[in-house]
Amino acid sequence: MKILVCVKQVPDTTEIKIDPVTNTLIRTGVPSIMNPFDAYAVEQALRLKEAAGGTVSVVSMGPPQAMSILTDALAMGADEAHLITDRRFGGSDTLATSYILSCAVRQLGPFDVILCGKQAIDGDTGQVGPEMAEHLGIAQVTYVSQLRPDGDRLEAVREHPDRQEILSVALPAVITVVKGEERPRFETIRGRLKANRQEIGILDREALPVEDEKIGLTGSPTKVKRTFTPERHAECVWVEGESAKDQAKALCQALSRAHVI
Amino acid sequence: MSGFVLTKDQRDLKRLAAEFGKQVMLPAAKEYDLLGETPLEIYKQAVEIGFASVTLPAEYGGLGLDMTTQCLLTEELSRWEAGITNALGASSLASKPIMIAGSPAQKQYAVDMIQSGHLAAFGLTEPDAGSDAAALKTTAVRRDGGYVLNGRKCFITNAPYASFFVIFAKTQKNIGTHGITAFLVEADRPGVSVGRHEDKMGLRLSAAADVILENVFVPEENRLGEEGKGFVIAMKTLDASRAEVAAAAVGIAQSALDQSVEYTKNRICFGKPISKLQAVQFMLADMEIQTQAARSLVYHAAELIDNGLPYGLMCAAAKCMAGDTAMKVTTDAVQIFSGYGYMRDYPIEKLMRDAKLFQIFEGTNQIQRVVVSGALLR
Amino acid sequence: MNKDNHQGIWVYIEHTAGHVQRVGLELLHAGRELKAVTGEELTAVVIADQTGDLAEQIKSYGADRILAVDCPQCKEYSTDAYTQLLYDLICEYHPSTVLVGATENGRDFAPRVACRLKTGLTADCTALGIDEETGDVAWTRPAFGGNLMATILCSNTRPQIGTVRPGVFRAEQVGTAAQVVRLEKNLPEQSIRTRIKELVHREGTPFRIGEADVIVSGGRGMKGPENFPMLQELAELLGGVVGASRAAVDSGWIDSSHQVGQTGSTVRPRLYIACGISGAIQHLAGMSGSDQIVAINQDPDAPIFKVAHYGLVGNLFEIVPALIQEIKAMQA
């Protein structure tokens, strides 16, 4: 089984802080990490390989620094890695990004299974996986927590808030994964030392048969009009008292006066 | 590596140790500290990552990395939980005499066992022979193409879980340390038993117990090196392992320091964080200075080992300094946390209990001073 | 592209097990707000094997028209069937705007529809408006874990499509009944490449924190799972449910279905009580729209107090039990 995992380098959004004076994001010093959902996708890929044999390739689209998360995936046990990088790919929205990725998949493939995280924690769109599947004209299952070979198909457990669907999907397929029971494995020391010496393939505009009008800003139907930091309202009424009991009493009175309780 | 400039490999491996320590080892600390047991699943997971393979020779399937890398990883793991780190270190300690004096078959056995998750133990100390190895009472008598061992070893780290032991026994009496020989003894040999699990003060995630040998027969191929060379093998082993032990002590000191810095910034007293008080600031400064000084000695010693230079004095100095520093810094940390520091609900008092053993085991710090002064006055 | 050829605001109505999901009704409200500016017709689209009863359920929620598509291949949701049917409808009727609930299914097939149409899709929106300059829909959505908001336009292609978070708008009945247009479609069986083998419902009643009227949430300050029953008791007294911050969920103290915030659910209950939650921005992103927010925290500088209407500084392990006593006394 030929397996591909798409991974993205993202800022660790839990470390992002807002400058209280300018009310803008402080991005400097924020560590870059592999998108956590993508790490789960790598884990699913390695498990699938252990169950069905084959190879695990990893691909990322981003600036040259994104190489480091590809090395991370190799250290976890992926077989090979490629970086899609070119200034001309910059400014791509999800439609253009998924188009470029689909071209890379065609170039590197064919693959039986393409895994992605359910969404990236910076953009939070969750669209690139399904749009890539559409560009490739193949099946998809999103929000998958478990995956196993099922003859010439795959069986996937798809998560909803109130239920799980156990699905069978024809291959090739794109699978987007949630954080399931199986946490991403630790890399091994041996894996890390090998990965640090492993060559990573580079795919730039010249190496990929993409149409220029479908990439970058030109190829992106959505445009960011403006960004802003969310407003935080409110005058907080401090409910004080000699004791916790007094505070509780005062709060109940206030809420009752406001007809909340 | 020179000084503290880490290579990319070393940086990445240190980060791996930090992730494993933080995500896996630390969460188990409290529960297993109360139990006084080694979380074997976590030990095995650490082995799978390769933390027990660092200095095992590459030709036998180990990682074959240098002592500097070993110390870096030991320090980092110990920063999160020193007991599990000590269990890993004890297996590594048991492998060392085999790597120093063993046959290729013995080396392969040890590497395969350790890398498949088996624990191992180093058996030198006896009830009446701690610092004074010449006083060993365990005997090994030649018989039928092998030896019969009798005796009792005590305070043996990993003993309750070990699959094999390296046992030091006397093959000849009345010639002091020259009569000592080293043996590889599998735990499942008839006559091998393990005593009561010791209820230790600290490092409770590594277990210690007596090892009792009653008419244990081992074939000749289980002897490590020549007869009478046991003491030299033991001393070489301890010389080399001291850097590693010292690194673990530095990890404990660093943990105490990190937690103290964080705590003083958040603990409000007299209307301001206690980090604003110069009395506290100076304590933190001293803790930092002492920890850094100990660390410098550790990596200096490791560098000497890695470069094939004489390292005995520096390893003893590092172990002594790091053990005393860990004790001092963790004691100060308890003082900074004051009441909370003394309570078992908070993680600080464990560091102090863990630190104490580093002034005692693998040669007490008095013995380290004997080694250092001996080298000076030679 | 001539944008004038595309007219009408569409709302896709999701349903499970014969019941319309609330988010579809919420989006009809959103659609009416857009309609108030653009004057376009508002259409609800419902796709099922039998849409009869579903169309009835949505009739009074403000749509001018309901496109009810009966397709025998739609007994259950599938990416392939729903993508094809919505795509075909859009090609036939060319609406200007399509709103889809940002649920698992909505976020599954909306991107495929958008990609097939080669148009833009804005995911997981939390506010909608009309851009004054261009007349396009201004889609506002959080990014960077709720630390940043972005307003996005899709100016050159139609339709403009967005998925919108459940809980952002309020479902609202209006008097008039929509006109129902029934359509029958059929798809080749082999065009559907997934098949559901089994459905496993989670134990107990489905827990939808987004629909709760009162939420009592716990965070890192709760110290451990053993302290959540106290929140449960308070929540039950107030007719509500228990929520949690990511810190509490990540520590394994409570199931992730309780999580409120950017990576959990967006909620806007009548009353939100935050206990031991410092108010990481990603949490605030999910609850700051609540009608009344009460925060209980030891640290008076905790960011949660910046969105709270009532702030109690103190030990929650004393305050929450006192609150329980007080409310019991009031109710007695």
DSSP assignment, residue C60?
T
The CATH number linked to A145 is 3.40.50.620
Count of the separate structural domains present in chain A: 2
Is the Cβ pair A192, B13 closer than 8 Å?
A: yes
Please indicate, yes or no, if residue A160 is contained in any of the structural domains.
yes
Distance from CA of C195 to the nearest CA of A (A): 5
pLDDT score recorded for residue A231: 65
**The domain at C3-191 falls in which architecture?**
3-Layer(aba) Sandwich (3.40)
Mean pLDDT score of chain A: 91
Q: Residue B255 is encoded by which pair of tokens?
A: 């943990």
Out of A191-205, B245-259, C223-237, pick the least confident. Answer: C223-237
- Classify A101 as helix, strand or coil: helix
Query: With 60 as the cut, is the pLDDT of residue A233 above it?
Result: no
Query: With 70 as the cut, is the pLDDT of residue B371 above it?
Result: yes
Please indicate, yes or no, if residue A222 is contained in any of the structural domains.
no
Backbone angles phi, psi at B363, to 5 degrees: 90, 115
Q: Is A131 on the interface with C (CB under 8 A)?
A: yes
Query: Considering only CA atoms, which of C118, C125, C149 is closest in space to residue C139?
Result: C125
Query: Pick from C112, C120, C292: which is nearest to A130 by CB?
Result: C112
In A101-195, the DSSP E strands lie at 113-117, 139-150, 153-159, 163-170, 173-177
Do A116 and A238 lie in one domain? The reply is no
Query: Pick from C156, C200, C323: which is nearest to A164 by CB?
Result: C200
Q: Is C116 on the interface with A (CB under 8 A)?
A: yes
Distance from CA of C58 to the nearest CA of A (A): 22
- Classify A7 as helix, strand or coil: strand
pLDDT score recorded for residue B101: 96
Question: Residue B94: CB partners within 8 Å, gap ≥ 6?
Answer: B110, B120, B121, B122, B158, B162, B164, B165, B166
Backbone angles phi, psi at B184, to 5 degrees: -95, 120
Please indicate, yes or no, if residue A225 is contained in any of the structural domains.
no
pLDDT score recorded for residue C204: 54
Task: Give mean pLDDT, residues A102-122.
Answer: 94
B37 catalytic residue (yes or no): no
**Amino acid identity for residue B343 in this structure:** M
Cis peptide before C300 (omega within 30 of 0): no
pLDDT score recorded for residue A24: 67
Cβ atoms of residues B94 and B121 within 8 Å: yes
Listed as ranges, residues in chain C with pLDDT below 50 are none
Domain boundaries, chain C: 3-191, 209-331
Do A75 and A194 lie in one domain? The reply is yes
- What is the DSSP secondary-structure string of C277-295? ----HHHHHHHTT-SEEEE
Backbone angles phi, psi at A83, to 5 degrees: -115, 125
Query: Considering only CA atoms, which of A38, A119, A116 is closest in space to residue A76?
Result: A38
pLDDT score recorded for residue C71: 96
Cβ atoms of residues B312 and B343 within 8 Å: no
Backbone angles phi, psi at B15, to 5 degrees: -65, -40
pLDDT band at A22 (very low <50, low <70, confident <90, very high): low
**Amino acid identity for residue B348 in this structure:** I
Q: Is A30 on the interface with C (CB under 8 A)?
A: no
Do A160 and A36 lie in one domain? The reply is yes
Do A31 and A144 lie in one domain? The reply is yes
DSSP assignment, residue C8?
-
Contacts of C291 in chain A (CB under 8 A): 260
Please indicate, yes or no, if residue A223 is contained in any of the structural domains.
no
pLDDT band at B2 (very low <50, low <70, confident <90, very high): very low
Task: Give mean pLDDT, residues B206-216.
Answer: 96
Please indicate, yes or no, if residue A228 is contained in any of the structural domains.
no
Please indicate, yes or no, if residue A224 is contained in any of the structural domains.
no
Maximum Cα–Cα distance for chain A, whole Å? 73
Q: Is C281 on the interface with A (CB under 8 A)?
A: yes
Question: Residue C170: CB partners within 8 Å, gap ≥ 6?
Answer: C26, C29
CA atoms within 13 A of residue C52's CA, in its CB half-sphere: 1
Which string of b and e fits A49-80 if b means at least 16 CB within 10 Å?
beeeebebbbbbbbeeebbebbbbbbbbbbeb
Do A12 and A86 lie in one domain? The reply is yes
Percent of chain A with pLDDT over 90: 72
pLDDT score recorded for residue B3: 46
Picking from A30, A164, A236 by the largest number of C CB atoms within 10 A of its own CB, the best residue to mutate is A236
Cis peptide before C159 (omega within 30 of 0): yes
- In order of A98, A162, B86, B114, B157, the CA distances from B44 in angstroms are 41, 37, 14, 10, 17
Do A134 and A261 lie in one domain? The reply is no
Out of A23-37, A74-88, B3-17, C126-140, pick the least confident. Answer: A23-37
Do A251 and A151 lie in one domain? The reply is no
pLDDT score recorded for residue C207: 62
Please indicate, yes or no, if residue A219 is contained in any of the structural domains.
no
Q: Residue C99 is encoded by which pair of tokens?
A: 């709103």
Helix/strand/coil (H/E/C) assignment for every residue in chain B: CECCECCHHHHHHHHHHHHHHHHHHHHHHHHHHHHCCCCHHHHHHHHHHCCCCCCCCHHHCCCCCCHHHHHHHHHHHHHHCHHHHHHHHHHHHHHHHHHHHCCHHHHHHHHHHHHCCCEEEEECCECCECCCHHHCCCEEEEECCEEEEEEEEEEEECCCCEEEEEEEEECCCCCHHHHEEEEEEECCCCCEEEEEECCCCCCCCCCEEEEEEEEEEEEHHHEECCCCCHHHHHHHHHHHHHHHHHHHHHHHHHHHHHHHHHHHHHCEECCEEHHHCHHHHHHHHHHHHHHHHHHHHHHHHHHHHHCCCCCHHHHHHHHHHHHHHHHHHHHHHHHHHHHHHHCCCCCHHHHHHHHHHCCCCCCCHHHHHHHHHHHHCC
Do A7 and A128 lie in one domain? The reply is yes
Query: At what angle are helices B312-342 and B230-266 packed, to 10 degrees?
Result: 40
Contacts of B8 in chain A (CB under 8 A): 196
**Amino acid identity for residue B149 in this structure:** L
Query: With 90 as the cut, is the pLDDT of residue A122 above it?
Result: no
Q: Is B91 on the interface with A (CB under 8 A)?
A: no
Query: With 90 as the cut, is the pLDDT of residue B1 above it?
Result: no
Tell me the domains of chain B and their CATH numbers: 8-118 (1.10.540.10), 120-228 (2.40.110.10), 232-377 (1.20.140.10)
Do A255 and A161 lie in one domain? The reply is no
DSSP assignment, residue C270?
S
Cis peptide before B219 (omega within 30 of 0): no
Cβ atoms of residues C169 and A134 within 8 Å: no
Question: Residue A181: CB partners within 8 Å, gap ≥ 6?
Answer: A145, A146
Do A138 and A192 lie in one domain? The reply is yes
Distance (Å, whole) CA B178 – CA A146: 62
- State the pairing for strand pair C42-48/C9-13: parallel
Q: Identify the active-site residue in B198, B244, B349, B362.
A: B362
Is the Cβ pair C305, A236 closer than 8 Å?
A: yes
DSSP assignment, residue C213?
S
Cβ atoms of residues B198 and B207 within 8 Å: yes
Residue in chain A closest to C132 (alpha carbons) equals A225
- State the pairing for strand pair A237-238/C310-313: parallel
Residue in chain A closest to C298 (alpha carbons) equals A244
Query: Pick from C111, C131, C195: which is nearest to A225 by CB?
Result: C131
Query: Considering only CA atoms, which of C65, C67, C63 is closest in space to residue C175?
Result: C63
Residue in chain A closest to C293 (alpha carbons) equals A236
Residue with tokens 């049917």: C85
DSSP assignment, residue A30?
P
Torsion of CA B295, B298, B304, B305, to 10 degrees: -140
Question: Residue A37: CB partners within 8 Å, gap ≥ 6?
Answer: A116, A117, A118, A119, A120, A121, A176, A177, A178, A179
Q: Is C189 on the interface with A (CB under 8 A)?
A: no
Torsion of CA C315, C317, C323, C325, to 10 degrees: -140
Percent of chain A with pLDDT over 70: 95
Distance (Å, whole) CA A132 – CA A99: 6
Maximum Cα–Cα distance for chain C, whole Å? 66
Q: Is C143 on the interface with A (CB under 8 A)?
A: yes
Residue count of chain A: 261
Do A81 and A191 lie in one domain? The reply is yes
**Rounded-to-5 percentages of helix, strand, coil across chain C:** 35, 30, 35
Q: Is B20 on the interface with A (CB under 8 A)?
A: yes
Query: Considering only CA atoms, which of A224, A226, A204 is closest in space to residue A215?
Result: A204
What was the ipTM of the complex prediction? 0.92
B274-316 pLDDT tens trace: 999 999 999 999 999 999 999 999 999 999 999 999 999 999 9
Distance (Å, whole) CA A224 – CA A227: 7
Report the CATH fold assignment for C209-331: Rossmann fold (3.40.50)
In which domain, by residue range, is A238 found?
234-261
**Do the first three CATH levels of C3-191 and C209-331 match, i.e. the same topology?**
yes
Do A137 and A169 lie in one domain? The reply is yes
Please indicate, yes or no, if residue A229 is contained in any of the structural domains.
no
Maximum Cα–Cα distance for chain B, whole Å? 79
- Classify C23 as helix, strand or coil: helix
CA atoms within 13 A of residue A29's CA, in its CB half-sphere: 6
Query: Pick from A186, A187, A193: which is nearest to B9 by CB?
Result: A193
Residues 22..41 of B with a Cβ closer than 8 Å to A: which? none
Residues 297..316 of C with a Cβ closer than 8 Å to A: which? 303, 305-315
Q: Is B117 on the interface with A (CB under 8 A)?
A: no
Which other chains touch chain A, taking contact as 3+ CB pairs less than 8 Å apart? Answer: B, C
Percent of chain B with pLDDT over 90: 87
